[in-house]
């Protein structure tokens, strides 16, 4: 049976200790700030990014890895495997938000004569991708087959919602990532909407509300209705708003049967499109 190796990209915002613990490989996206180009999570930490963001006149831009960068990662894993068979499961940022999946697919075509790489569009962003990747990496590390990992991945893709709040829709609007919210942008600019992602991975307004306290209550009620007493894993991500994260966590703990929780920082690529002050929560059922 082929050994399964998990690959993702830097937008999954997985804490470094989990990447190491579950042997997850990461291909970084790029961030252009002024005249400097950085590798997300490699030579640009979230903390440094948000500091620089406040000093910029314009907005940063981002770009996906090239197919060659993915191919290099895949072949590096293949060379390290020794005499073992290798199967790579490569799980990435929503194709509606980035060309990352397309680059990974082109790379998979280049290596397919030597070993199997399956590329998956998560239709999600930030730790909504990460929470799925971590769960599958746990299985792979325990010796699960590719088919077992893919079966569980299909379940997670059906059962991992994400809700998030942004301080301003300016970043999403100017970077063209507003998705299904575009028709409502005029009214939403005066609101603090609870945002989510469609089945195709596009941003849309889940509910329009005024004020963060009301928004957090909306998220709590949506998760309670969906999961009730079912055991769950939760992940929360923030872009500098630790206070709201603490409040959000308490709301979720009050109504859900939480088995584990991860708090992480939204990295430079996703932060380029959402801005400082963003908070997000993602939940998945625990087996």
Q: Domains of the chain (ranges plus CATH)?
A: 3-29+64-158 (3.40.50.10170), 162-285 (3.30.1180.10)
Can you give the pTM of this predicted structure? 0.92
CB 210 within 8 A of CB 187: no
* Region 233-255 average pLDDT: 88
Q: What is the pLDDT of residue 190?
A: 57
For 151-202, the pLDDT digits (tens) are 999 999 999 999 998 877 776 766 555 554 554 454 555 567 889 998 888 8
Q: What is the mean pLDDT of residues 73-79?
A: 94
Residue 82's pLDDT band, with cuts at 50, 70 and 90, is low
- What pLDDT is attached to residue 156? 96
């Amino acid at each position: 049976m082929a050994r399964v190796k998990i690959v993702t990209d830097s937008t999954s915002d997985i804490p470094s200790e989990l990447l190491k613990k579950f042997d997850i490989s990461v291909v970084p996206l790029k961030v252009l700030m002024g005249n400097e180009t950085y590798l997300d999570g490699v030579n640009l930490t979230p903390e440094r990014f948000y500091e620089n963001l406040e000093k910029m006149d314009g907005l940063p831009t981002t770009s996906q890895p090239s197919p060659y960068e993915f191919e290099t990662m895949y072949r590096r894993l293949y060379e390290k495997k020794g005499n073992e068979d290798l199967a790579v499961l490569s799980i990435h940022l929503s194709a509606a938000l980035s060309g990352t999946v397309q680059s990974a697919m082109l790379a998979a075509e280049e290596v397919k004569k030597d070993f199997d790489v399956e590329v998956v569009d998560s239709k999600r962003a930030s730790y909504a991708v990460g929470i799925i990747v971590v769960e599958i990496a746990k299985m792979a590390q325990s010796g699960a087959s590719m088919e077992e990992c893919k079966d569980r991945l299909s379940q997670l893709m059906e059962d991992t919602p994400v809700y998030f709040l942004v301080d301003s829709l300016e970043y999403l609007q100017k970077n063209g990532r507003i998705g299904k919210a575009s028709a409502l942008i005029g009214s939403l600019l005066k609101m603090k909407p609870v945002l989510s992602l469609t089945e195709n991975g596009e941003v849309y307004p889940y509910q329009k509300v005024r004020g963060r306290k009301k928004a957090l209550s909306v998220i709590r009620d949506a998760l309670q209705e969906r999961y009730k007493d079912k055991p769950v894993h939760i992940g929360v991500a923030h872009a500098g708003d630790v206070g709201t994260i603490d409040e959000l966590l308490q709301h979720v703990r009050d109504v859900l049967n939480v088995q584990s929780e991860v708090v992480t920082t939204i990295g430079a690529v996703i932060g380029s499109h959402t801005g400082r002050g963003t908070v997000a929560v993602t939940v998945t059922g625990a087996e």
